Amino acid sequence: MTNSPSPWPRQGPASYFPSIESKYGKSIAQWQAIISECGVEKHMAIVAFLKTQYSMGHGHANALVTWTLAGNVASE
């Protein structure tokens, strides 16, 4: 059995994405949609939203928000 390579970099915020998708059951594109629709604009407020509403850990939430607010877009 071979593992397909991860589409995400091994360093930086996106290095968390395989574990985020596995642990929380949503794709990064789905998380980005949640972030864009949450009605919050400031970085730490979005992190707090993800932690409160989705019980996401701080590191995972911060990685998603950092990557998203930098203008990156995940493909579905």
Whether residue 75 is predicted with pLDDT greater than 60 in this model: the reply is yes
Its pTM stands at: 0.83
Residue-number span of the structural domain to which 33 is assigned = 13-69
Q: Name the nearest CA neighbour of 42 among 64, 65, 72.
A: 65
Whether residue 76 is predicted with pLDDT greater than 90 in this model: the reply is no
Q: Give the ranges where 1-76 is alpha helix by DSSP (H).
A: 17-24, 28-37, 43-54, 58-69
Q: How big is the chain by its Cα radius of gyration, in Å?
A: 12
**Structural domain includes residue 56:** yes
**Structural domain includes residue 76:** no
> Pick the residue with more confidence: 44 or 10?
44
Token pair in block for residue 8? 């995400």
Question: Into how many domains does the chain fold?
Answer: 1
